[in-house]
Amino acid sequence: MSVIFVPNDSAAVSVGADDVAAAIVARAQEQNIDIEVRRNGSRGMFWLEPLVEIEHKGTRYAFGPVLPSEVPALFAAGLAHKSPGAIDHPKALGPTEQIDYLKNQERLTFARCGLAEPLDLQAYEQLGGLAGLKLALKATPKDIVETIAASGLRGRGGAGFPAGIKWKTVADQPGSEKYICCNADEGDSGTFADRLLMEADPYCLIEGMIIAGLATGAERGLIYLRSEYPAAIAVMGKAIEKMSAAGWLGDDVGSCGRRFEIEVRRGAGAYICGEESSMLESLEGKRGEVRAKPPIPAISGLFGRPTLVNNVLTLAAVPWIMAHGAKAYAEYGQGRSKGTQAFQLGGNIARGGLVEKAFGVTIRDLIEGFGGGTASGKPFATAQLGGPLGAYVNDEMLDLPMDYEALAKAGAMLGHGGIIVFDDQVDMAQMARFAFDFCAIESCGKCTPCRIGAVRGRETLDKIIAGDNVKENLLLVEDLCELMTDGSLCAMGGLTPMPVRSAIKLFPDHFASPGADQTAPNAASAKL
């Protein structure tokens, strides 16, 4: 009997994976062929979705992207009875793991994604899951914290704060009423790695959270999961039930006498709730207004108790680190950026998807090597790194290594690892306007530089776009950017100037309407 894999990841389903699965089942029934369709998570090669795989003698063979209408032809070519390597069909891609996109990655956190059915706990264990937790159960909290610190793991949510320091701070607080809050708000445009992991390998996140609980003494975990991800919410809920039934969650975690429970809490459409203090307010049932710091959440967080706030990918890196050791993890990466990062290629890119790679890979390797350049085939113009608060880069910056410090030095940031590609049709004045617009829409309203500054910035860009006093208005935008950078309470207002300033700096001719203001820099070459 052949086993055929068709992902149930929501991105795969968004381009027809359910229909493909149904077509395969129907065709097999028609032809009386005995097959089993398994709904795995995605491998993260989204441009190939729906990606159908067949297992043959221990090797998986890929076909994609498969349209439901192509299923009969695939069966005719021998899908369910021939050796898959011998099938001659334009969508046949050969052994999945030999596809360059996958072969050239360094998958640690995402190693299991797409291999098995996400909720198959036995498969999880067979594929190396729970090994880290089992070791952690035998270790002292201090040892666990030291392992995380020695691995060099830094927060993957955007700020890159060393995880070990945060874990130690929470562990050092007295009492057992502490919380592990997993930030699964993933609001940054251009990012989907948290979603992919939660849908494909939910136990990995749970395992990381349990280990965090053991290390810090917290007995309760909450996952703040955005409402835009209904599939991930459903999978995580079921995974928690299964882990509880198996004794890995509850009053006696892995029979070690320690308690740990996890609950999923839905977000409600507010981007700012990804900011950690706003998230805590939301978890307390309140408006998601940002809190002033100090105190830091590690000392006084949820309900005023010590709280470890970590991104999904920070926590999901933990099981691998525990299982393979801090040193093995720190061997990946460079400088102070250790380990691997989940880069997410999106926007106008030929091969969009997830690329897990050691830090130090260049932007060019990612966009051109993995991504294959623009989807439209038109010349590359710019990429925005690190979400809506991240900087734009131009083609001269593509050889920069992806590394927290190197990017900061170049005036950019890694953020949550999103890379959004634009071709030469982009209008950077519109993108700068959008940055202000987004800030105005999503601002929590607590401080003036952000609340008012964003609205003023949007108005001023409208004037610039209309060709009205371009030079003066650009100066005004620069003043506003300075005010927002220096005066905002959190990075929402504080970093909105990043995309704005980088757009103006790298693409000055986009900010001068032809003929409107001949004194503006590069006005002669203004975009038509």
Partner 1 sequence: MKSAGEAADHIISAICDAHDNNPAALIEILHDVQGQKGHVPDGDLVVIAMALNLSRAEIFGTMSFYPDFHAQPPEAPVVKICRGEACQAMGALELADKFAAAPMAGEPVEVEPVYCLGNCALAPAAMIGDTLIGRADVARLQSVLADLKK
Ligand X SMILES: Cc1cc2nc3c(=O)[nH]c(=O)nc-3n(C[C@H](O)[C@H](O)[C@H](O)COP(=O)(O)O)c2cc1C
Which spans of this chain sit near ligand FES (rule: CB under 6 A)? 189-190
Count the residues of the shown chain that bind ligand X, applying the rule CB under 6 A: 21
Q: Give me the least distance between CB of 190 and ligand FES, in Å please.
A: 6
Residue 340 in contact with ligand X, rule: CB under 6 A: no
Q: Give me the least distance between CB of 74 and ligand X, in Å please.
A: 39
Q: Give me the least distance between CB of 189 and ligand FES, in Å please.
A: 4
Question: How far is the C-alpha of 121 from the C-alpha of 87, rounded, in Å?
Answer: 33
Residue 170 in contact with ligand X, rule: CB under 6 A: no
Q: Which of residues 220-259 bind ligand SF4 (CB under 6 A)?
A: none
- Contact yes or no for 116/127 (Cβ under 8 A): yes
Q: What's the CA angle centered on 423, arms 421 and 424, to 5 degrees?
A: 140
> Half-sphere exposure (CA, 13 Å, Cβ side) for 141?
16
- Tell me which residue has tokens 């067979």: 126
Q: Give me the least distance between CB of 50 and partner 1, in Å please.
A: 10
Structure tokens at 257: 């006498």
- Contact yes or no for 422/381 (Cβ under 8 A): yes
Residue 489 in contact with ligand SF4, rule: CB under 6 A: yes
In terms of DSSP bridges, do strands 261-266 and 220-225 run parallel, antiparallel, or are they unpaired?
Answer: parallel
Stretch that binds ligand X, among 268-276, 328-336, 348-356, 367-375 (CB under 6 A): 268-276
Residue 197 in contact with partner 1, rule: CB under 8 A: no
Q: Which of residues 399-428 bind partner 1 (CB under 8 A)?
A: 418, 420-423, 426
Question: How far is the C-alpha of 333 from the C-alpha of 431, rounded, in Å?
Answer: 32
Structure tokens at 170: 């929470």
Stretch that binds ligand X, among 84-92, 135-143, 183-191, 365-373 (CB under 6 A): 183-191
Rounded-to-10 torsion of CA 380, 382, 387, 388? -130
Stretch that binds ligand X, among 54-62, 182-190, 198-206, 466-474 (CB under 6 A): 182-190
Question: How far is the C-alpha of 385 from the C-alpha of 414, rounded, in Å?
Answer: 6
Name the residue with the smallest CB distance to ligand X: 155
Residue 272 in contact with ligand SF4, rule: CB under 6 A: yes
Rounded to a whole number of angstroms, the distance between the first and last alpha carbons of the chain is: 61
Number of helical H runs and strand E runs in the chain: 21, 16
Cis peptide before 295 (omega within 30 of 0): yes
Residue 481 in contact with ligand SF4, rule: CB under 6 A: no
Under DSSP, is residue 310 helix (H, G, I), strand (E, B) or coil?
strand
Structure tokens at 264: 């999923």
Residue 10 in contact with partner 1, rule: CB under 8 A: yes
Residue 265 in contact with ligand X, rule: CB under 6 A: no
What proportions of the chain, in percent to the nearest 5, are helix, strand and coil? 45, 15, 40
List the one residue from 490, 495, 512, 523 that touches ligand SF4 (CB under 6 A): 490
Q: Give me the least distance between CB of 229 and ligand SF4, in Å please.
A: 22
Q: Give me the least distance between CB of 256 and partner 1, in Å please.
A: 28
Q: Give me the least distance between CB of 483 and ligand SF4, in Å please.
A: 11
Structure tokens at 229: 């991800």
Of residues 84 and 457, the one with the C-beta less far from partner 1: 457
List the one residue from 49, 53, 275, 437 that touches ligand X (CB under 6 A): 275
Q: Give me the least distance between CB of 449 and ligand SF4, in Å please.
A: 7
Structure tokens at 128: 């190396």
The partner in contact with residue 104, picked from ligand FES, partner 1, ligand X, none with C-beta cut-offs of 5 to 8 angstroms by kind, is none
- Rounded to the nearest angstrom, the gap between the alpha carbon of residue 59 and the centroid of all alpha carbons in its chain is 28
Residue 159 in contact with ligand X, rule: CB under 6 A: yes
Q: Which of residues 277-306 bind ligand SF4 (CB under 6 A)?
A: 290
Question: How far is the C-alpha of 339 from the C-alpha of 159, rounded, in Å?
Answer: 16
Residue 493 in contact with ligand SF4, rule: CB under 6 A: yes
Rounded-to-10 torsion of CA 330, 336, 341, 344? -170
The partner in contact with residue 493, picked from ligand FES, ligand X, partner 1, none with C-beta cut-offs of 5 to 8 angstroms by kind, is none
Question: How far is the C-alpha of 113 from the C-alpha of 470, rounded, in Å?
Answer: 50
Q: In terms of Cα–Cα distance, which of 397, 282, 351, 348 is closest to 48?
A: 351
- Strand-by-strand arrangement of the 353-358 sheet: 353-358, 340-347, 418-423, 380-385, 392-393
Binding mask 475-494 for ligand X (x = CB under 6 A): ---------------xxx--
Q: Which residues bind ligand X (CB under 6 A)?
A: 155-159, 161, 183, 185-187, 272, 274-276, 309-311, 314, 490-492
Site for ligand SF4, rule CB under 6 A: 272, 290, 443-447, 450-451, 488-490, 492-493
Residue ranges that bind partner 1, judged by CB under 8 A:
10-11, 13-15, 46-47, 49, 186-192, 194-195, 227-231, 265-271, 282-289, 303, 344-349, 352-354, 375, 384, 388, 418, 420-423, 426, 431, 434, 438, 441-442
